[in-house]
Structure 1
Amino acid sequence: MEKTPAETPEDILSRREAGKVTRKHVPRRAHAAIGNVDRDPVELLEINSAGRVERLVPLRYGRMIESPFTFYRGSAIVQAHDLAGTPNSDLPIQICGDAHLANFGGFASPERSLLFDLNDFDETSVGPWEWDLKRLAASFTVAARHLRHKRGVADDLVYRVVRSYQEHMAEYSQMGILDTWYDAITFERLIANAVSPQVRKRLERGMERAASRTSEALLPKLSEQVGERWTIRDAPPAVFHIRGANTLFSPEDNWMTLENREQVLDKAFKAYLNTLAPDRRQLLSHFTRQDVAFKVVGVGSVGTRCLIILMIDNHGKPLFLQSKQANQSVIARYFKSAPVAHEGRRVVEGQRLMQAASDVFLGWNDGPFGRHFYLRQLRDMKLSPEIELMDAELLGEYAALCGWILARAHAKASGSALEISGYLGSSDAMAEAIVAYSNSYADQVEQDYDAFVAACRSGRLEARTDADMAADFRV
């Protein structure tokens, strides 16, 4: 096999210069543009809701209608559409596709260390790296307005996101690719580097909470033992059995008419096992499937087919797996890239590329009727940020952390830290452009939210809260 020659100092300088030269075609100030916003956001949401479980779509809209921030979280398709009308730096890499501030959090590595990283890859695809940066930055402006912070606070949050991304990308551009791959942002590392006692205390408390968020702790909350078998308890609309009394599937849905259900599940699970390393397959062979139920998750994912699988080992210890439907990425819809043969595999491979470490049970399979799925543990020390409880100082620390994590993910997935860092440079030019973008786009989000609310009130869309739908099942 022919060896790839090692890069010389001249090669490294050339790559950095190539990124810098790109500014001549797409100056950094051009990133202040918000793109093609001459569209109907409601129509885009309807496109994105097509094919979902029909009776759950109103719940999706009910969660989105809570505020412009929840609307923003659930409307990645709208921003992807708009970004397609903006100049881009012509350096496509593997991106998250939905890198808003609530899609970062803590989870356990295979070695049981608590990591902080990106944790949602449903929209991952090849795309312009700055699309991730813009979605993240604008999410801080939208969230700051939601939390009633002043504009100066919101601008500072965006500035800290971009400068952190810029400075850490410069650091990764000086590192060997293996060092970049090995780099992991652990809670222990964050605590050791924390300057503020308040930040350190919150991180330590987060670690304590995360340690209790395991399948074993989840077992009595989600299920009950009937004889020798464990059964998942219905709690509609969030959790229900597809063919049970509390189902939200219509009788015409092809999952309701599916024959030989257990055989279909066995076949799908076998296909999933074939996507795992042999040691992971061996590990799962010690577990027996007990029950399968539907579980609604998130905001943007509501209505996609998402199952939880309860498995028990020979010692009665549980493992909850989540099987989640994967559809075409909204990024791929608006940015031309190579066709994808399997959407579940796209999610898994994108996640493995971008995360410092991924779930040991991460894999994919085909479901019945041609749908694609990926699987992972339902909850393994997972910890979500509570931005509502953060003051401006903590939000600023969190913004800088998210910028760092995004830079690490992009550097690891692309190996293009030199080119990206060359484009960004060391000045405030990119930060100033993204601050302007975030303010303008937050204005647009509020307009889109108003149009969405009007569509719900007029009857064009139906929005129902979790409480509304839960009331339907009360005796």
Structure 2
Amino acid sequence: MAEIQSLETRQAIGRAARENAKRSMHAKVGNVDRDPIALLQQNSAGRVEALVPLRYGRMSVSPFTFFRGSAIIQAHDLAGTANTGIVFPICGDAHLMNFGGFATPERQLVFDLNDFDEVATGPWEWDVKRLTASLAIAGQHMGIARGPISEFVATAVHEYCDRIREYSEYSTLDLWHEIVTFERMIESTDNEEGRRAIIKAREKAEGRTSESMLEKMAAQRDGHWVLQDAPPALFHPGGPNTLLGKDHAWSNTQAWENKLAAAFDDYLGTLSPERRALAGQFALQDVAFKVVGVGSVGTFCLVMLLIDSHSKPLFLQVKEARESVIAQHFTADGLAHQGQRVVTGQRLLQAASDAFLGWTTGPAKRYFYVRQLRDMKISAEVERMNNTLLQGYARLCGWALARAHAKASGKAVEIAAYLGNGDRFAEALTEYAFDYAAQNEKDYETFIKACRSGKLEARSDEDMAADFRV
């Protein structure tokens, strides 16, 4: 059994961390003497070659989409900053679009972090910095003035600090069971506009189920459901619309029977017995390749359509897990299986995780994790928010991040002691957010020049879809 330290000892550890990193030092952006194009090319290695231009195309839309797709660059930069030495599994990509609503296995709608591709052991403040930078970058892209953006950033940081101090007083079990439900969000919102927005989001999430998606994504043929190709976003790996190339193109039926069956059995072995029995009540109908997100474009991602005896669907996403950008720039012990890394980190950081969350090893020794494709999942439409709603959303992200860190680390006492009761950390993070937004703008301009010169190829979804039109 581990030895339990006293609260006084833990508080002393937190205050001592200021010797490693004064709170004012968090204003520094880090090591930006690097080539952003080289880092992006390094991060694109091993992806589906035909989809890399689509990745760059989605990143080229704005400085904000570029930031979303370039976590590797900020991780590199943060490695050049002083850190608190308080480390544990962090999200690694906690920008404001990687929070959202989803249903727990008990069908309760919650708000939490929802992307863990980059989860790895690292300094907790790296997550807070990615969140604050994303607020500044998104706000500037939306044409919002510096004053309101400062308020968004300060709101997120103050909420994070306040919640960490609150969680430092929770018992271990109370903290483990802490959950941010939509009902609590409504109760905590101090304006009617914010409450209406949350209620509307809840209603939208309740309609986003596998059943509602079935006829949009698939069609019946001879009593069998088949996913409908919609390249470049969705296509059959061995079909006429495949973008995988001859080295990766497989016949769907043969792929399932000969390559994926064993991988799926291994995945089932990572589920608890009752959830393994639940999965056993569904039969596979079809498998297709699905392109998702911005930063994930080009990684292997499959969607599996399964049906129960009532003809009700279950969509599973089988997503490739590559080495975390955090692990590439912060040395720490970690799991060798990247799918297991994602699942373990997600289970630690989330208040409640998908009932079908598990991992496996696929063809060509690629690592994968598995989860439901859609289960009342909803993301914020940030670019449609006004200042009032965006400030409220920043507060919710700060709350959710504090809860995730407190649960995953068991170090809320240490972090709270480090933060203290003043505004030094919030002031430093506000300066950091604006300075990093300026650096991101420079990197974006360099990226666009590389695309225009032909050094990088960038193509939009529309351009690539046109290749398949007759």
| Correspondence list, 1:383-402, <5 A | 383-402=378-397
Which residue, 433, 439, 443 being the options, matches 1:438?
433
Q: SS of the counterpart of 2:317? A: strand
1:313 matched residue in structure 2:
308
Which residue, 376, 381, 391 being the options, matches 2:376?
381
Question: 1:426, 1:469 → 2: CA distance?
Answer: 53
| Residue 242 (str. 1) matches residue 237 (str. 2) | yes
Q: CA deviation at 1:156?
A: 1.1
Q: Which amino acid aligns with 2:63?
A: P
Question: 1:247, 1:181 → 2: CA distance?
Answer: 44
Provide structure 2 residue ranges, at least 5 long, that are not aligned to the other structure: none
Instruction: Say whether the 8 Å CA contact 1:249–1:256 is kept in structure 2.
Output: no
| Residue 300 (str. 1) matches residue 307 (str. 2) | no
1:32-84 deviation digits (Å, cap 9, x = unpaired): 11111000001100000000000000000000000000000000000000000
Q: CA deviation at 1:218?
A: 0.4
Question: 1:6, 1:68 → 2: CA distance?
Answer: 46
Q: CA deviation at 1:5?
A: 6.4
Which residue, 119, 134, 137 being the options, matches 1:139?
134
1:404 matched residue in structure 2:
399
Question: 2:3, 2:367 → 1: CA distance?
Answer: 40
1:102 matched residue in structure 2:
97
Q: SS of the counterpart of 1:231? A: strand
Question: 1:337, 1:14 → 2: CA distance?
Answer: 24
Instruction: Say whether the 8 Å CA contact 2:113–2:400 is kept in structure 1.
Output: yes
Q: SS of the counterpart of 1:224? A: strand
Q: CA deviation at 1:395?
A: 0.8
Instruction: Say whether the 8 Å CA contact 1:153–1:392 is kept in structure 2.
Output: yes
326-335 vs 150-159, greater mean Cα deviation: 150-159
Question: 2:87, 2:247 → 1: CA distance?
Answer: 42
1:348-401 deviation digits (Å, cap 9, x = unpaired): 000000000000000000001110000000000001001111111111111111
Q: 1:194 to 1:300 in 2, by over 3 A?
A: same
Q: Which amino acid aligns with 2:286?
A: D
Question: 2:3, 2:124 → 1: CA distance?
Answer: 27
1:217 matched residue in structure 2:
212
Q: CA deviation at 1:25?
A: 3.1
Which residue, 257, 261, 264 being the options, matches 1:262?
257
| Residue 191 (str. 1) matches residue 186 (str. 2) | yes
Q: CA deviation at 1:24?
A: 2.6
Instruction: Say whether the 8 Å CA contact 2:120–2:334 is kept in structure 1.
Output: no
2:85 matched residue in structure 1:
90
Question: 1:188, 1:115 → 2: CA distance?
Answer: 9
Q: SS of the counterpart of 1:245? A: coil
| Correspondence list, 1:449-460, <5 A | 449-460=444-455
Q: Which amino acid aligns with 1:458?
A: S
1:111 matched residue in structure 2:
106
Question: 1:261, 1:312 → 2: CA distance?
Answer: 16
Q: CA deviation at 1:6?
A: 6.0
Q: Which amino acid aligns with 2:230?
A: A
Identity %, equivalent residues: 56
Please list every run of at least 4 consecutive aligned residues from structure 1 whose deviation after the TM superposition is greater than 6 angstroms: 256-259
1:10-32 deviation digits (Å, cap 9, x = unpaired): x2122112211221332101111
1:328-363 deviation digits (Å, cap 9, x = unpaired): 000000000114210000000000000000000000
Question: 1:293, 1:178 → 2: CA distance?
Answer: 41
Q: Which amino acid aligns with 1:446?
A: E
TM-score by length of 1: 0.97
Instruction: Say whether the 8 Å CA contact 1:99–1:118 is kept in structure 2.
Output: yes
Question: 2:181, 2:17 → 1: CA distance?
Answer: 34
Which residue, 456, 462, 465 being the options, matches 2:457?
462
1:341 matched residue in structure 2:
336
| Correspondence list, 1:171-186, <5 A | 171-186=166-181
1:204-240 deviation digits (Å, cap 9, x = unpaired): 1111111111110000000000011100000000000
Q: CA deviation at 1:194?
A: 2.2
Q: Which amino acid aligns with 1:275?
A: T
Question: 1:75, 1:165 → 2: CA distance?
Answer: 24
Question: 1:458, 1:262 → 2: CA distance?
Answer: 45
Q: 1:63 to 1:310 in 2, by over 3 A?
A: same
1:424 matched residue in structure 2:
419
Q: SS of the counterpart of 1:303? A: coil
Which residue, 359, 366, 371 being the options, matches 1:364?
359
Question: 1:435, 1:197 → 2: CA distance?
Answer: 27
Instruction: Say whether the 8 Å CA contact 1:30–1:87 is kept in structure 2.
Output: yes
| Residue 350 (str. 1) matches residue 345 (str. 2) | yes
Q: SS of the counterpart of 1:450? A: helix
Provide structure 1 residue ranges, at least 5 long, that are not aligned to the other structure: none
Q: SS of the counterpart of 2:158? A: helix
Question: 1:225, 1:418 → 2: CA distance?
Answer: 56
Question: 2:145, 2:101 → 1: CA distance?
Answer: 29
Q: 1:260 to 1:241 in 2, by over 3 A?
A: closer
89-98 vs 186-195, greater mean Cα deviation: 186-195
Which residue, 154, 161, 164 being the options, matches 2:159?
164
Which residue, 325, 329, 354 being the options, matches 2:324?
329
1:167-214 deviation digits (Å, cap 9, x = unpaired): 100000000111111010000111122221111111111111111111
| Correspondence list, 1:198-209, <5 A | 198-209=193-204
Instruction: Say whether the 8 Å CA contact 2:237–2:252 is kept in structure 1.
Output: no
